[in-house]
């Protein structure tokens, strides 16, 4: 199972980097301990804490066509002091 899908790069996630918090789009079935071990394994850093949130679908409209955005799970990963991730 692929745990980490992609980094989330937004203004909010870039400002959180100052506090050693990185944001990732993760598999919906992954739990916090799996996310922690995967980040530590892939990037070689020490993870202090993991917070997750489920991003719900939103209605979007293009012209007369309506649809839904994709729902996904987002993980906020706090690293130990002195650790950084480059992506």
- What pTM, to 2 d.p., does this model score? 0.90
Give pLDDT, residue 86: 87
DSSP string, 11-49: HHHHHHGGGTEEEEEE-TT--HHHHHHHHHHHH---EEE
Read off the pLDDT band of 63 (50, 70, 90): very high
4-79, CATH topology level = Alpha-Beta Plaits (3.30.70)
* DSSP code of residue 57: P
Q: Could you state, in order of their start, the residue ranges of all structural domains in the chain?
A: 4-79
């Amino acid at each position: 199972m692929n745990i980490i899908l992609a980094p989330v790069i937004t203004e909010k996630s870039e400002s959180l980097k100052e506090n050693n918090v990185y944001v990732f789009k993760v598999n919906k079935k992954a739990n916090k301990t799996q996310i922690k071990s995967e980040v530590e394994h892939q990037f070689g850093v020490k993870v202090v804490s993991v917070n997750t949130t489920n991003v719900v679908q939103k209605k979007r409209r293009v012209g007369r066509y309506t649809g839904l955005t994709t729902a996904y799970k987002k993980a906020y990963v706090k690293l130990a002091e002195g650790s950084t991730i480059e992506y």
